[in-house]
Amino acid sequence: MTKEKIQLEAQRTALSYQTRRHFLGKCRTGMGMMAMGSVLDSCNLFSGNNADGSLVSNPLSPRAPHFQGKAKSVIFLHMAGAPSQLEMFDYKPELQKMDGLDCPDSFIQGKKFAFIRGVPKLLGPQASFKQYGQSGLWLSDNLPHFQQVIDDVTILKAVNTDQFNHAPAQLLMHCGTPRLGRPSMGSWVTYGLGSENSNLPGFVVLTSGGRNPDAGKSIWGSGFLPSVYQGVQCRSEGDPVLFLEDPNGFDRDMRKASIEAINNVNELSYNEYKDPEILARISQYEMAFKMQIAVPDVMSIADEPAYIHEMYGTKPGEESFANNVLLARKLVEKGVRFVQLFDWGWDSHGTGEDTALDKGFIGKCLQTDKAVSALLLDLKQRGLLEETLVVWGGEFGRTPMQENRDGKQNSFKGRDHHSEAFSMWMAGGGIKAGFSYGETDPIGYNAIEGKVSVYDVQATILKQLGFDHEQLTYQFQGRPFRLTDVFGKPIDPIIA
Amino acid sequence: MNLIELIGRFHPVLVHLPIGIFVLVIVMDGLTRFDKFTYLSASIRLILGIGILSAILSLVTGYTLSLEGINNQDLVDNHQWTAIGTTALFTIYYFLRQKLMAKRLAHTYTLLLLLVMLAWTGHQGGSLTHGEGFLTEGTLDAKTITAAPLDIKDINQALVYKDLVQYTLNQKCVQCHGSKKQKGKLRLDDLSWIKAGGKNGNLINTTDPSDGELIKRILLDDIDEHHMPPKEKTQLTDAELVIFQWWINAGASFDKSVAALSPDAKVIKALASFKAENQIQEKTIVKTREPIDKLDEQIKKRLEKMGWVVSTISLDDNHIRLIGYNIEGTINDALVAAAEISEHVIELKLSFSALKDNDLKNLNQFINLEKLWLDHTDISDNALKQVTALNNLGYLNIVNTKTTAGGVKNLMNLPNLKMIYLQGIKITTDERLALESIKTNANLYFGDSMKSVITDTIFVKKAE
């Protein structure tokens, strides 16, 4: 397109704003929109916890929380597919004795399972357990390294969810609702606290295990929050962020000039339309420019000393959970607010060797155990665990019964999805060290003490970051929304 | 609500008519003694008559209101009879006034008696609506209900109802269900009230313990509107819930001791934590920061322009966490600029920056620093000399710097230092032992590696 043509078009567009047709059209819809605007008020950014109104300049500049939070950042290790608590943390010797017996009617009456039909058989723990550390917490031999850090964690043994399928349960865990459309926890946290390092995204997502979690990218989406708060997925293999490199023959100064020009135009349109998404776009362009330098630096683990690689079990250049864990430490060290890891492959139904509790599942445990343990130790020794809250868990747990898909016993030892009670753990960021909270019944089916919901876990995470989960809200469609919907309360007994 | 009830509800409004009118009558009647006001005498009969009519109206509405039933029946009865008495007295006065006027002294006493009766009736009514003791609250009796710490030596000898249940009720329930307020027409400050129950019936169901109103309310999910205590009030602890359930399931007796109700393991655990929660605990002295004014927006903007990230601690605390990952220009310039708000800064993060020893010359101005990160920089022991002036410092991170054991040793005298992170610093085993032998509050983290377990065998062994 030639220069004259562009100029002509610009002139025409400008003139069209001064026509009678435009004026009358605006009169008709404009009045209605003004009325609507006052009703909806949905562009009122940060009405929930504004305080200063400094957002127009930079949506990621840090903001004051409700109270001084002990944690400044979060590493959430999500084992997508839901690992079996009965082979890791929740030791049930009674279940071993009842191995192979029919599951009592009282447990299955009126219950719905993803795959179990009819009367399943109980399945004893497929691992041996021992007590470790000063705290004497029980751990299975599937986690040989974790015993060295057991005195730094709080295990929640009776987490309860109301979803028994992966995608909705993952959505509930991260967005506070089993349905699509709400912002994820990392988005809420970066919305609430901003970022400490303007050269890096505030919310980074790393995935491993060969597949993304079932709920898709919406579990790190920003929902109705401005999209600047959505999780930035980085790859541990190849370019960490795609399309970040300058093209050939395009140097950094020219890139800078072009971004500045685009941002100037965007600022003009912001002044005209006041759409917060334009601000988000401006800061994303700026961040992308800074990230070109900062991200390749922080996302490279090649420079780490040999003993770190040995400790985490990392190999530079491959896509692995261990590499992601090490990256998580590096990101938190550089001031990233929320690092979300997903590791796929924990759905141990026992339909094949890779999902068998005595085969593939052990492999998954051993793949992750060393890196996770190394992470806690490394964070602690670098003085990062004080301010970093590490959360580990799946989206639900697994049944004490062996899965009998469609009424027939599965060929390998596996367990079905279980929502009544499962285990998670938290460490650092002001959480008690070497502590266990909650208890399940002798076969590990129901929570009998210290039952907490997914909302309670979310409320606790927010509390450690300095938020009253009921006050961190965002005005949307005429009402304030929050991560925990109308539920949840912080699990105070586990807070140090 | 039916019509009778509606009429009853007018009582609190109507009573103010006779009170006002009768006071007016007494004042006017008193004034007629003076020559200047004798003309008032003519009006008094009429006004008194209107007053008596309104009083009768109040009596009728008051009686219908009392039919609704209220937990404090004694007070209602008293109020009813004094009100009737007062109205009767005013009526008698209406007829005898002419005669009394002749005897000045008798007239004066009559007026005083009427005033006292009126005030007493009004006070009783007020106690019913606002709660007993409303009038003198905070003036005469300064006793509050929540004070006393638990005083039980041997938990087994403690009386379950009196020492545990009633104790908890006093702490968490009687503010709304006690002598001052009776929400839901319920009082929980004494066993006779507890037995009587409230608007929604009996508190304790002896035939089916789990169906009692008390236990149902406290066990409801706290987002349920019927849950007690209300969501925004102090909740019962887990231990208290266990004790209440145990007491009610065991028959809710009012005189048994803990041992007599044979507690099981769960209850014993709850009793222990109940005792711990409620006993006088040595107060841990929490060091609070001096409040400080909000940071000036202009200064904040200026610092942000230099690349500082300026983070306010919380909405209630205007102190600053200052982060320097992205400083443009030299660290020295940035720190000189930041010194302007040195009293605000309690956390300073210079990790991964181009920090040099000389840049820290004015570090001693940051007297309120509690946390300091100098990790992953080129600083040496010279920089640590500046740190020794920071008396409030509790956390120091010098991971991966060129500092040595000698520099670290000088920091050991800092009174509040709790944690020093030293990973990646060249320290020999002897130096480490020497550092660890120094008597100090500070924990030193040298950075020990993890013991690696060879996992291949586990997998192979299990797979077999």
Q: What is the largest CA-CA distance in chain A?
A: 85
For residues A261 and A285, what is the distance between their CA atoms, to the nearest angstrom? 11
Query: Which chain B positions have a beta carbon within 8 Å of A125's beta carbon?
Result: none
Q: Residue B279's pLDDT is what?
A: 67
Q: Between B16-31 and B41-67, two packed helices, what is the crossing angle to 10 degrees?
A: 160
Q: How confident is the model at residue B120 (pLDDT cuts 50, 70, 90)?
A: very high
Q: How confident is the model at residue A168 (pLDDT cuts 50, 70, 90)?
A: very high
Say yes or no to pLDDT of B25 above 70.
Answer: yes
Q: Determine contact, residues B256/B161, Cβ cutoff 8 Å.
A: yes
Query: Which chain A positions have a beta carbon within 8 Å of B446's beta carbon?
Result: 381
Q: Residue A49's pLDDT is what?
A: 38
Same domain, B311 and B417: yes
Say yes or no to pLDDT of B143 above 50.
Answer: no
CB contact under 8 A, B458 and A199: no
Give the range with max mean pLDDT: A295-309, A481-495, B161-175.
Answer: A481-495
3-state secondary structure of A360: helix
3-state secondary structure of B222: coil
Choose the mutation target among A152, A331, A381 for the interface with B, i.e. most B CBs under 10 Å: A381
Residue B247's CB is within 10 A of a number of other CB atoms, namely 23
Chain centroid to CA A463: 16
CA distance A237 to chain B (A): 24
Q: Is residue B464 part of a domain?
A: no
CB contact under 8 A, B223 and A64: no
Say yes or no to pLDDT of A218 above 70.
Answer: yes
Length of chain B in residues, anyone?
A: 464
Q: Residue B280's pLDDT is what?
A: 59
Same domain, B255 and B316: no
Comparing A47-51, A283-287, A436-440, B173-177, the range with the smallest average pLDDT is: A47-51
Say yes or no to pLDDT of A347 above 60.
Answer: yes
**Three-state SS letters, A371-440:** HHHHHHHHHHHCCCCCCEEEEEECCCEEEEEECCECCCCCCCCCEEEECCCEEEEEECCCECCCEEECEE
Query: Which chain A positions have a beta carbon within 8 Å of B397's beta carbon?
Result: 382-383
CB contact under 8 A, B450 and A382: no
Q: Is residue B292 part of a domain?
A: no
Q: Is residue B149 part of a domain?
A: no
Nearest-by-Cβ selection for A358 from B222, B375, B462: B462
Nearest-by-Cβ selection for B459 from A363, A380, A383: A363
Closest CA in chain A for residue B371? A383
Residue A97 CB partners (closer than 8 Å, separation 6+): A124
**What are the CA-CA distances from residue B417 to residues B393, B394, B408, B433, B440 (Å)?**
6, 4, 12, 19, 9
User: What would the pLDDT profile of A246-264 be if each residue is shown by its tens digit?
Assistant: 778 888 888 889 999 999 9
Residue after which a domain boundary falls, among B249, B278, B307: B278
**What are the CA-CA distances from residue A389 to residues A123, A386, A457, A490, B312 (Å)?**
34, 8, 12, 14, 20
Q: Residue B145's pLDDT is what?
A: 44
Nearest-by-Cβ selection for A374 from B315, B323, B450: B450
User: What would the pLDDT profile of A175-192 be if each residue is shown by its tens digit?
Assistant: 999 999 999 999 999 999
Q: Residue B144's pLDDT is what?
A: 41
For residues B124 and A458, what is the distance between their CA atoms, to the nearest angstrom? 51
Say yes or no to pLDDT of B251 above 70.
Answer: yes
Same domain, B70 and B114: yes
Q: How confident is the model at residue A345 (pLDDT cuts 50, 70, 90)?
A: very high
Over range B149-178, report the average pLDDT: 82
Q: Residue B69's pLDDT is what?
A: 67
* Structural domains in chain A, sorted by start: 3-40 (no CATH), 60-240+299-494 (3.40.720.10), 248-289 (no CATH)
Query: Which chain B positions have a beta carbon within 8 Å of A362's beta carbon?
Result: 458-459, 462-463
Same domain, B422 and B307: yes
CA distance B300 to chain A (A): 11
CB burial class (10 A; 0-12, 13-18, 19+) of residue A385? Answer: buried
For residues B62 and A223, what is the distance between their CA atoms, to the nearest angstrom? 58
Same domain, B199 and B321: no
Q: Residue B141's pLDDT is what?
A: 40
Query: Which chain B positions have a beta carbon within 8 Å of A197's beta carbon?
Result: 309, 323, 325-326
Q: Residue A44's pLDDT is what?
A: 46
Q: Determine contact, residues A350/A115, Cβ cutoff 8 Å.
A: no
3-state helix, strand, coil in chain A (%, to 5): 40, 15, 45
CA angle at A89 for the pair A85 and A91, rounded to the nearest 5°? 95
Q: Residue B285's pLDDT is what?
A: 52
Q: Residue B146's pLDDT is what?
A: 46
Q: Is residue B222 part of a domain?
A: yes
Same domain, B269 and B337: no
Q: Is residue B451 part of a domain?
A: no
Same domain, B307 and B431: yes
**What are the CA-CA distances from residue B450 to residues A83, A396, B93, B447 (Å)?**
24, 30, 98, 9
CA distance B417 to chain A (A): 14
For residues A77 and B298, what is the distance between their CA atoms, to the nearest angstrom? 40
Q: Determine contact, residues A49/A473, Cβ cutoff 8 Å.
A: yes
Query: How large is the ipTM?
Result: 0.84
Over range A297-311, report the average pLDDT: 88
Residue B397 CB partners (closer than 8 Å, separation 6+): A382, A383, B351, B372, B373, B374, B375, B420, B421
CB contact under 8 A, B375 and A382: yes
For residues A71 and A68, what is the distance between their CA atoms, to the nearest angstrom? 9
User: What would the pLDDT profile of B68-90 be if each residue is shown by its tens digit?
Assistant: 766 677 788 889 999 999 999 99
More confident residue, A90 or A26: A90
Query: Which chain B positions have a beta carbon within 8 Å of A310's beta carbon?
Result: 449, 452
CB contact under 8 A, A198 and B351: no
The DSSP element (H or E) to which A185 belongs, if any, is helix A185-193
Q: Determine contact, residues B436/B448, Cβ cutoff 8 Å.
A: no
List phi, psi (to 5°) of A137: -75, 150
Q: What is the CATH classification number for the domain harbouring B353? A: 3.80.10.10
How many residue pairs from chains A and B have C-beta atoms closer than 8 A?
Answer: 121
Same domain, B337 and B204: no
Say yes or no to pLDDT of A163 above 50.
Answer: yes
CB contact under 8 A, B314 and A362: no
Residue A457 CB partners (closer than 8 Å, separation 6+): A156, A159, A173, A391, A393, A424, A491
Over range A113-127, report the average pLDDT: 91
Closest CA in chain A for residue B316? A67
Nearest-by-Cβ selection for A362 from B446, B450, B462: B462
Closest CA in chain B for residue A335? B325
CB burial class (10 A; 0-12, 13-18, 19+) of residue A229? Answer: buried
For residues A1 and A219, what is the distance between their CA atoms, to the nearest angstrom? 42
Nearest-by-Cβ selection for A66 from B315, B421, B455: B315
Q: How confident is the model at residue B35 (pLDDT cuts 50, 70, 90)?
A: confident
Q: Residue B138's pLDDT is what?
A: 53
Q: Determine contact, residues B354/B335, Cβ cutoff 8 Å.
A: no
For residues A347 and A122, what is the distance between their CA atoms, to the nearest angstrom? 18
Nearest-by-Cβ selection for A196 from B223, B311, B312: B311
- Domain holding B197, by residue range, is 155-278
Report the domain count for chain B.
3
User: What would the pLDDT profile of A395-409 be if each residue is shown by its tens digit?
Assistant: 999 999 999 988 888
3-state secondary structure of A233: strand
Say yes or no to pLDDT of A46 above 50.
Answer: no
Say yes or no to pLDDT of B116 above 80.
Answer: yes
Same domain, B317 and B400: yes
Q: Residue B312's pLDDT is what?
A: 93
Q: Where are the beta strands (DSSP E) in A133-276?
A: 137-140, 153-160, 203-208, 232-233
Nearest-by-Cβ selection for B309 from A196, A359, A382: A196
Closest CA in chain B for residue A330? B352
Mean pLDDT rounded to a whole number for chain A: 88
Comparing A143-147, A152-156, A281-285, the range with the smallest average pLDDT is: A281-285
CA angle at A168 for the pair A163 and A170, rounded to the nearest 5°? 95
Q: Between A454-464 and A185-193, two packed helices, what is the crossing angle to 10 degrees?
A: 20
Q: How many CA atoms lie within 13 A of A316 on its CB side?
A: 11
Q: Residue A47's pLDDT is what?
A: 41
Say yes or no to pLDDT of A429 above 80.
Answer: yes
Buried b (16+ CB within 10 A) or exposed e, B316-327: ebbbbbbbbbbb
pTM of the full structure? 0.74
The DSSP element (H or E) to which A74 belongs, if any, is strand A73-80
More confident residue, B449 or B113: B113
Strands B317-323 and B309-314, sheet pairing: antiparallel
Over range B313-323, report the average pLDDT: 92
CB contact under 8 A, B455 and A144: yes
Q: Residue A288's pLDDT is what?
A: 82
Say yes or no to pLDDT of A222 above 70.
Answer: yes
Q: Between B41-67 and B73-102, two packed helices, what is the crossing angle to 10 degrees?
A: 160
For residues B218 and B235, what is the distance between their CA atoms, to the nearest angstrom? 9
> Where do runs of H (alpha helix) occur along A209-275?
252-273
Closest CA in chain B for residue A294? B326
Q: Supply B285's token pair.
A: 């002295």
Query: Which chain B positions have a beta carbon within 8 Å of A464's beta carbon?
Result: none
**What are the CA-CA distances from residue B240 to residues A324, B208, B246 (Å)?**
45, 21, 10
Q: How confident is the model at residue B286 (pLDDT cuts 50, 70, 90)?
A: low
Q: Is residue B142 part of a domain?
A: no
Q: Report which DSSP code applies to B369.
A: -
- Whether the bond into B229 is cis, omega within 30 of 0: yes
For residues B368 and A70, what is the distance between their CA atoms, to the nearest angstrom? 18
Q: Determine contact, residues B80/B66, Cβ cutoff 8 Å.
A: yes
Same domain, B268 and B313: no
For residues B342 and B320, what is the distance between their CA atoms, to the nearest angstrom? 9
Q: Where are the beta strands (DSSP E) in B341-387?
A: 345-349, 371-373
CB contact under 8 A, A383 and B399: yes
Residue A492's CB is within 10 A of a number of other CB atoms, namely 10
Same domain, B302 and B440: yes
CA distance B263 to chain A (A): 17
Give the type of residue at B240.
E
Same domain, B169 and B232: yes
**What are the CA-CA distances from residue A278 to residues A49, A55, A265, A291 (Å)?**
21, 13, 10, 19
Comparing A7-16, A87-96, A483-492, B268-277, the range with the smallest average pLDDT is: B268-277
pLDDT > 90: percent of chain B: 31
